[in-house]
Amino acid sequence: MSIKLKTDNLSPSLGNDFRNDLVDNFSEIEKEINNLDSTNSGDKITKEELNKKLDKLKNDFIKDNEALKERINRILLGTDIESIDIVVNRILKEKGVID
């Protein structure tokens, strides 16, 4: 967006030229806002579409939360192989058994 508003050298008195310059400024701003509004009209979504997207996101969070709970339970029970490998390797490195 490249517009040049008449903001420099405005008349110090509130004469007709000053008023015309302000009107021109607001006309240019209005045109640009209207252009922005018309170019973004395809991005609008309905409330129902937004609710569907939010519901999907919520369901994804719930699934991830359940998976995390299951992993935490496996770790606490000592049955999570990935965590056991990490801990055993760390201990062996600290003891100097492996590099």
- Domain residues of the chain, as ranges? 11-44, 48-94
Look up the pTM and report it.
0.42
CB count in 10 Å sphere of residue 59: 10
pLDDT of residue 2: 58
Q: How confident is the model at residue 95 (pLDDT cuts 50, 70, 90)?
A: very high
Q: Does the structure show a pLDDT above 80 at 83?
A: yes
Q: Does the structure show a pLDDT above 70 at 10?
A: no
Structure tokens at 55: 């519901």
Q: Distance (Å, rounded) from C-alpha 16 to C-alpha 39?
A: 35
pLDDT of residue 50: 85
pLDDT above 70 covers a percentage of the chain that reads 76
